[in-house]
Chains A and B, each alone.
Chain A
Amino acid sequence: MLRLEARAAPSRAMSWLSPLLALAVTVVIGLVLFALLGKDPARGLAMFFVEPFRGAYALSELAVKATPLLLIGLGLALCYRANVWNIGAEGQFVLGAIAATWVALHAGPGTGRWIVVALLAAGAAGGMAWAALVALLRDRANANEILVSLMLVYVADQLLGYLVYGPWKDPAGYNFPQTITFLEATRIPRLFTGLRVNAGFVAAVLAVGAFWLFLFRAFAGFQLQVGGLAPAAARYAGFSSRRALWTALLVSGGMAGLAGAFEVAGPLQQLTPYVPAGYGFAAIIVAFVGRLHPVGILFSSLLMSLFYIGGELAQSRLGLPKSLTGVFQGLLLFSLLACDTLIHYRVRWRPRHAAPGAA
């Protein structure tokens, strides 16, 4: 009979190394997977871990994909530390993109660059509003935020569909479900000519510092985390659980909305039904692989971005399905959970009728 026994003192070093261990496990399983698919494992692995680093263009693409993951992941980490389970960042991301598009569509030929600021603010506000619905229902009706936030993703998808198939459809777009391409003034400034990486990446990296300060140096951040770790202690201390709920959801929703605005006005430059690319869900994995720590999330967002790009490369160069990205993401999360479990517990084989000394 296999049993899990709690370890008396889980190794601290191991719990920090756990994501690396999980990555190693993922790579090994990936090698086996490539071999089973009849592809050269070394080449397959290169698609995921070598090619995305080759040249300025590849690095820029890495940053482009990492930007939304990092922004959303930071917000979610704060949320999860407060024990608020927002898993609907995807919907908040879509609402951010919609709100940003609404601002962008108001631009005319004479509009100044200031509109980018308004567009980003609108994006953040859109994500916040979508998350505020979750907070309101939890606060007033005690509705489970996991279910509500997830279901609102699908509502957001429908809303997006209505807009791009209906009122916001580009009249000159050959009836494709998409808005006009954004005017030059409404686009996020790029960092280098010819590369898609834009100011959003800089903002996301700066956000890492801001979140670190908030979580580990601000009293407000401390209160939020106490509420997540020990609700009774938070009540005893007098830290408001309602404020923690609202802060966690508004911040994570705002970050997801901001990511949506950067995405739609950055690499995409128009609103299409393909805006929801799964960043909101992948960012959940990013947050946990990054140990809910801002600096960890910086690395895990880059890692997850590798998987996105690797999946695309595997599709175009090896003829493998793009869903390999999802497989790798899932493998990574699964390996991480397994590593964490084994760091906190040991597996013991125990025959049913053991001698007394064996227990």
Chain B
Amino acid sequence: MLRLELRDISKQYPEVKANDRVSLRVAPGRIHAVLGENGAGKSTLMKIIYGAVRPDEGRVLWDGREVEIRNPNEARRLGIAMVFQHFSLFDSLTVAENVWLGLESTRALPDVAREIAEVARAYGLALDPARPVHTLSVGERQRVEIVRALLAKPRLLILDEPTSVLTPQAVQGLFATLRQLAAEGCSILYISHKLDEIRDLCHHCTVLRGGRVTGEVDPARETNASLSRLMIGAEPPQLRHAQAAPGAAVLEVRGLALPRRGAFGVELEDVGFAVRAGEIVGMAGVSGNGQQELMAALSGEDPRAAPDAIRLAGRPVGRWSPRRRRAAGLHFVPEERLGRGAVPALSLAQNVLLTRREPVGPAGWISVGRAAALAQGLIERFKVKAPGPQAAAQSLSGGNLQKFIVGREIDARPTLLIVSQPTWGVDVGAAAQIRGELIALRDAGCAVLVVSEDLDELFEVADRLVVIARGRVSPAIAAGAATPEQVGAWMSGLWATEAAHAPA
């Protein structure tokens, strides 16, 4: 008998049909992948199973019986547990306290702590119930969420993009846990857009595109290319990657140290690396290891750095404002598009003015016509899907807004471009275009620093790699000579031994 069956589920949102007659069959003890791009309808489908969203049409069967899951409480009562992509943990509480708070029953805290330790041991999840959450790495926080889900002894576990925050080693650990769970009879719904992982882990795969099921396959028998065809309707575009011809160092960071801001910030310690003209340096690392702090120090949003800790073309810029650095050729694309890279309520033409001075006359008056022309030029050159320069930034899809923002900075002809998470939440086509633009910029002699959590992306575009972990940055290594395993080990901060003989 099937553990869970969805029949012809449809859900219409005002703007988009998120699910269009989607059917899904999950057998006991199977790991079932749901594959699709951002916006393919995966999240809506999971929310329907978890009772957070009601379908407009269709039926849900649990153990062969038709059920109506009205809210997450009812889902939990049936034995459905979910680990979300974004954790909901209180930083200042311990692991046990966090789990205890989420329980409905009135069990005593020490009992819960004991149970956490038992479950963690049984599934090989190293976790100390007494540790405060803010001292945990992202991978450890995810373990808290998983243990919390397992305490309910679920019969169906849903995981939403669980590996996006993990090192390659941690991913293998997670997979071992999931396989053990499945062997014990728990069904697992595994949501992802990473083809390798699905082929490695899952027994069965349902592919969604535009809210519809486009394939039901055995992932072990598929190739990345065939899965990609089902997911995006085309094979992943290949990047042309010519040999880099790096010139002089444009960005030199040396001995950069910054005390942390706020209780849960990350302290930067003795950060040093360089980016040369005509090369792309990729910075790998699990989020929350100091990327935000480092980016703010490099962009000038946090001007506390020692002046000569950051040098731009030889000049000490550590205390310069973002505007002054930009005037000196440093352009930056932040990871948050809405609210930081662009003002949501303002038009594209107005958003041009955030980082571009061309439409502003010497007396400080804005030429509205020139701003609109500049925005129109960006829309055409970078193939941004937008009604025109007067469209509000918030009306664009994530991928199109990212193309616009990256385009705005590339079009400024920077000498150094720093890009944080260039393709986060961006569809495959736009991601390939953005990566292609970055490489073209490099070939034109610009120094480029790409910070990303996506190792595949970094191996694709970068000439050299550095790794950031716990507020420190590793020595650089040529991308061609690095392996994902080595970079993964470095992501846990383990480069000290190798660093002694590696060239910085």
Question: Which residues of A are interface residues toward B (Cβ below 8 A)?
Answer: 7-9, 217-220, 222, 226, 229-230, 232-233, 235-238, 240, 353, 356-357, 359
Contact = CB atoms under 8 A, between A and B. Distances in A.
Contact of A229 (B321, B332, B345, B353): B345
A324 B340 CA distance: 46
19 contacts: A8-B14, A217-B365, A219-B353, A219-B360, A222-B366, A226-B346, A230-B339, A230-B343, A232-B336, A232-B339, A233-B341, A233-B343, A236-B332, A236-B334, A236-B354, A238-B321, A238-B322, A238-B326, A356-B68
B54 A359 contact: yes
Given A233-B340, A238-B300, A238-B322, A217 B368 contact: yes
Nearest to B14: A8
A226 B393 CA distance: 13
A148 to B, nearest CB: 25
Interface residues of B, number: 38
B344 A230 contact: yes
B104 interface: no
Given A8-B14, A233-B343, A222 B353 contact: yes
A233 B342 contact: yes
B336 A237 contact: no
A246 to B, nearest CB: 17
A357 B301 contact: no
A357 B355 contact: no
Nearest to B299: A236
B339 A235 contact: no
A229 B15 contact: no
A221 to B, nearest CB: 9
Given A236-B334, A238-B300, A359-B54, A219 B340 contact: no
Interface string B328-341: 00001010100111
Nearest to B361: A219
A52 to B, nearest CB: 37
Contacts of B343: 226, 229-230, 233
Contacts of B111: none
Nearest to B364: A219
Contact of A236 (B14, B322, B360): B322
Contacts of B13: 8
B57 interface: yes
Interface in B48-75: 53-57, 68, 70
A8 B70 CA distance: 24
Nearest to B339: A230
Contacts of A232: 336, 339-340
B44 interface: no
Contacts of B322: 235-238
B323 interface: yes
B400 interface: no
A220 B323 CA distance: 14
A226 to B, nearest CB: 6
Contacts of A8: 13-15
A218 B363 CA distance: 9
A359 B68 CA distance: 13
Nearest to B11: A359
A237 B54 contact: no
A232 B342 CA distance: 9
Contact of A356 (B54, B332, B366): B54
B415 interface: no
**Chain A at the B interface: mostly helix, strand, loop or mixed?**
helix
What 6 A-B pairs come out closest when comparing CB atoms?
A238-B322, A359-B54, A238-B323, A8-B14, A237-B354, A232-B340
Contacts of A7: 14
Contacts of B98: none
B350 interface: yes
B57 A218 contact: no
A126 B227 CA distance: 71
Interface string B6-47: 000000011100000000000000000000000000000000
Given A219-B364, A359-B53, 15 more contacts: A8-B14, A218-B366, A219-B366, A226-B343, A229-B346, A230-B343, A232-B339, A233-B342, A233-B343, A236-B340, A237-B323, A238-B326, A240-B321, A353-B70, A357-B56
Contact of A217 (B300, B301, B366): B366
B366 A233 contact: no
Contacts of B355: 237
Contacts of B342: 233
A235 B323 CA distance: 10
Interface string B463-485: 00000000000000000000000
A356 B332 CA distance: 47
A16 to B, nearest CB: 15
A236 B301 contact: yes
Contacts of A240: 321
Contacts of A226: 343, 346, 354
Interface in B344-399: 344-346, 350, 353-355, 360, 364-366, 368
Contacts of A222: 350, 353, 366
A219 B55 CA distance: 48
- Max chain A Cβ within 10 angstroms of own Cβ: one of B55, B324, B346, B368: B346
A220 B340 contact: no
B74 to A, nearest CB: 12
Interface in B288-314: 299-301
Contacts of B341: 233, 236
A230 B332 CA distance: 17
A219 B360 CA distance: 7
B436 to A, nearest CB: 25
Contacts of B53: 359
A218 B336 CA distance: 27
B337 to A, nearest CB: 10
B360 to A, nearest CB: 5
Contacts of B364: 218-220
Contacts of B70: 353
A9 to B, nearest CB: 8
A357 B9 CA distance: 11
Nearest to B15: A8
Nearest to A226: B343
Contacts of B339: 230, 232-233
Nearest to A357: B56
Contacts of B353: 219, 222
